[in-house]
Amino acid sequence: MDRRTTLATFFGQKSTDQAAVTATAKPPVMSGLSPYTGPFEYEQAAHLLRRAMFGPTYQQIRASADAGLDATIDQLFADNPLPPPPVNHYYQDDPNVPIGEPWIDAPYIQGVQAIANYRNQSLAGWTIGTLLAEGVSLREKMTLFWHNHYVISDINDPKFVYRYITMLRQNAWGNFRELTKMVTIDPAMLRYLNGRDNIAAAPNENYARELLELFTIGKGPAVGPGDYTNYTEDDVVQMARVLTGWRDTGFNSANPANPVGAIFINNRHDQEVKQLSHRFDNVVITNMGNEEYAHLIDIIFSKDECARFICRKLYRWFVYYLIDDQVEADVIAPMSQILIANDYEIRPALEALLRSEHFFDMLNMGPMIKSPVDFILSVLKTMEVDFPTANLNQTYRLWLRFFRDALPPMQQVYYALPSVAGWKAYYQEPVFYRNWISSATLPIRMQFTTTMIMQGVTQLGATVKVDVLKLVSQLDDPFDPNALLDEFSKIFLPQPITQGQKDALKEVLIPGLPDFEWTVEYSDYVNNPNDPNLAAAVETKLRNLFVAMTSMPEFYLS
């Protein structure tokens, strides 16, 4: 497997065959959904944690390998408490929210834009803080998955956004059908896809169309005018009528008696009979008032294609983008049957995937390009960057720097997705994950790692930076440069590197010097840790090494 093919052109490797750049060189994986029974050691634990969470640390991976696959899966799916809500981190003039207190249910003050501003900042910073504090858990990876699936974007009320993302987080591996019902009348979604404007006198089809095409069953190939494999254009029309009558409440409201929520207004609802097409067995829906939307979703989920549709998306999120006939037959089909047998509960099907021979096949280790969120956290978390905790405003401002300064140039921003279809990396054929890397975004990624390793990021007098001396002290044998390179390669890279690559890295660490020179220099530092000259010499060499390692194509992969 040439897992470097996807990055070759951007790292200066030339190819005379354009097809080699635009098509994957990864051979087919023949294993299926049968439970994995092989060894669960460091390599397997690292693969599982890198895919199921963001930026696992060396100690987390080693602890997982020691605990075993069953215990690690249980830990990933543990029902941990939700993260504490975002708070007022600095604004002194909010009479409803003292500094240090949550604002998620507090009204605004009419005409005071600064309150919305600080809450938006708080939400953004808190989002990074939540990712940093996730622990060994699948919840944050699944929360981002659902955010990319049930897209909202540019909702200009942080209370609405917080309610939406909390709904996804609470139901991270819960029931797909029931979550779809919650999303359908979520106030942020009612605004984003015009559900609030959908009334009997003037039905709006935006949400009904995306409910079918993107959220539940998928379109499928066209088989006739207005007729697709899984639904028809008339189904969109009829379902829009079913969904009439809902409004959001509390948007940017200064009235404490008008909280964030959704209400059903009967006289805005189409109370006439609706009939779906042959794709849904010509079912007739009579007026059911505020329960009609839920009945409609039950009808959609009576079709098995809903299970296959979401299983394909989960596969692309956790395993690989290429779904060929073999993957469809040996992974997607049995996974979808597990989902159906469990009444659309996500956990049993997802757990089967993460426990499968297919997931742990060596060909699936390392070919996924990290998303920007994953990339940034693979620096901040894997390299154990410490954030200050004594000053609330300082902490939030530092988190906010990464949300606002690092993610947008890399083209992945929470709460501001580019389209209702989500990020292109998970749906746009044939490029998929390679959308993350371009001549514009690659230098930005390289600059980010170099900045974090060399000088760090400073905000309000506090600097966060990779502590290379702390990381090297945690290795089993930091005195041997060869062992040091082997261990750092295991920590930072998804598969072993070649001897030639190790030799090049050692030349960065101790250019032109024999191995014992590192042993002597590091020993001198360990024996005299307060000597600034010895510390600086070791630190400089390690920082140069880290920059070199994070500039390798392998560091961009998971």
- 394 sits in which H/E element: helix 392-401
Q: Cα(399)–Cα(123) distance, rounded to whole angstroms?
A: 10
Taking alpha carbons only, the member of 473, 472, 494 closest to residue 485 is 472
Contact 162, 85 (CB under 8 A): yes
Please report which residue ranges of 154-290 form alpha helices under DSSP H.
Answer: 158-170, 176-184, 187-192, 206-210, 233-242
Q: Is 12 left (phi over 0), alpha (psi -120 to 50) or beta?
A: left
Read out DSSP for 165-187?
A: HHHHHHTTTSBHHHHHHHHHT-H
* Signed CA dihedral, 309, 336, 148, 176: sign only: positive
Give residue for tokens 């009334």. Answer: 199
Element (DSSP H or E) covering residue 257: none
Helix 515-527 with 481-492: angle, nearest 10 deg: 80
Look up residue 472 and give its two tokens: 């090297």
What is the predicted pLDDT for the residue at 4?
47
Can you read off the two tokens belonging to residue 436?
């993350």
Query: Given this model, what pLDDT does residue 14 score?
Result: 45
* Coil vs helix vs strand at 246: strand
Instruction: Determine the pLDDT at residue 16.
Output: 35
522 C-beta neighbours (distance < 10 Å), count: 22
Q: Which amino acid does the sequence have at 465? A: K
* pTM: predicted TM-score of the whole model, two decimal places: 0.95
Contact predicate 106/81, CB 8 Å: no
Residue 557 DSSP SS3: strand
* Angstrom distance (rounded) from CA 298 to CA 180: 10
Residue 22: per-residue pLDDT: 36
How would you write the pLDDT of the chain (558 residues) with one tens digit per residue?
A: 344 455 655 565 543 333 333 334 567 777 899 999 999 999 999 999 999 999 999 999 999 999 999 999 999 999 999 999 999 999 999 999 999 999 999 999 999 999 999 999 999 999 999 999 999 999 999 999 999 999 999 999 999 999 999 999 999 999 999 999 999 999 999 999 999 999 999 999 999 999 999 999 999 999 999 999 999 999 999 999 999 999 999 999 999 999 999 999 999 999 999 999 999 999 999 999 999 999 999 999 999 999 999 999 999 999 999 999 999 999 999 999 999 999 999 999 999 999 999 999 999 999 999 999 999 999 999 999 999 999 999 999 999 999 999 999 999 999 999 999 999 999 999 999 999 999 999 999 999 999 999 999 999 999 999 999 999 999 999 999 999 999 999 999 998 999 999 999 999 999 999 999 999 999 999 999 999 999 999 999 999 999 999 999 999 999
Within 10 angstroms of residue 247's Cβ, the number of other Cβ atoms is: 20
Local structure of 274: helix, strand or coil: strand
- What are the sequence ranges of the domains in the chain? 178-303, 306-355, 468-556
User: What sections of 68-112 are H helices per DSSP?
Assistant: 69-76
Residue 469, phi-psi category: left (phi > 0), alpha (psi -120 to 50), beta (remainder): alpha
The CB density around residue 196, as the number of other CB atoms within 10 Å, is 20
Lookup result for tokens 């140069």: 544
> How do 261-264 and 246-249 pair as beta strands?
antiparallel
pLDDT the model gives residue 31: 86
Per-residue burial over 495-519, b if 16 or more Cβ lie within 10 Å, else e, is bebeeebbeebbeebbeeeeeeebb
Of 144, 90, 103, residue with least CA distance to 256 = 103
Six-digit token string for 286: 């009579």
As a whole number of angstroms, the distance between CA 110 and CA 90 comes to: 20
Report which secondary-structure segment, H or E, holds 457.
Answer: strand 457-459
Q: Whole-angstrom Cα distance, residue 252 to residue 447?
A: 38
